[in-house]
Amino acid sequence: MTFLTIGHRGVMGVEPENTLRSYLRAERCGMDVIALDLRLSKDGALVAVHDPEVDRTTDGSGAVADLTVAELRELDAGQGERVPVLEEVLDAVRVPIQALVGDLPTATALAALILRHDLTSRVEVASDQEAVLAETARLVPGVRTVLYADSPGDGAGSVVDRASTVGAATVAVDVHRLSLETVDSAHAAGLRVTGLAVDTLDLLRLARALGLDGAVTDFPEIRSTGRFTA
């Protein structure tokens, strides 16, 4: 199977994270998938922001949930970029999107958008919350989902059992905490495994040695190097 390179918030190692500039560069450098974070604005729009607040990634302050889209658009998200809404991202790039969501209201809004625009083949939903993935799968039959986990848990079967219970197709785990046992267990259960964040050549070699199906990375160089690293 193809080893996927997944651009983390675009290519946040070299561009402002979760901006159209970052997503477009990720696409230009050949990333197979773009991973982005979604939150709901005060007026219910799906906006690409990682943190609950805008303080770290923009020149503004306050909670995303307390700001309207118009207010968010007034902020500088880096190098003059603005906070994008998901529809803008989908219009700007053609590569598949992995949308990370952390709560049920955001998942519900995303599910409605996927259904409205028939995006099940283009958008997969990721979360570290099993309830979010289960509800998304209920609302959008056939949607692909990804369980994010900081670690495999207690024993190789833990993250595999969690993912299988909610019907996830992939598990994404900190590459430092993965073992061959966990990867083999996931593959035996029919799951794909991606490592994060794979930002150095040594970590890329580790990812390939573990037999991972893909790597989440901040840097465009990992894409070109990954094709030749055994």
Q: What are 130-173's pLDDT values in tens digits?
A: 999 999 999 999 999 999 998 888 666 799 999 999 999 999 99
Q: Quick check: 230 pLDDT over 50?
A: no
107 — pLDDT class (breaks 50, 70, 90): very high
Q: Which amino acid is at 9?
A: R
Q: pLDDT tens digits for 36-85?
A: 999 999 999 999 999 999 999 999 999 999 999 999 999 999 999 999 99
Q: What is the distance in angstroms between the CA of the first residue and the CA of the last residue of the chain?
A: 14
- How far, in Å, CA of 43 to CA of 72, rounded? 11
pTM for the full predicted model: 0.95
Please, which pLDDT band fits residue 226 given cuts at 50, 70 and 90?
low
Alpha-carbon dihedral 86, 89, 95, 100, rounded to 10 degrees: -40
CB 4 within 8 A of CB 213: yes
Angle (CA) 113-119-123 rounded to 5° is 95
Query: Distance between CA atoms of 131 and 42, rounded to whole angstroms?
Result: 23
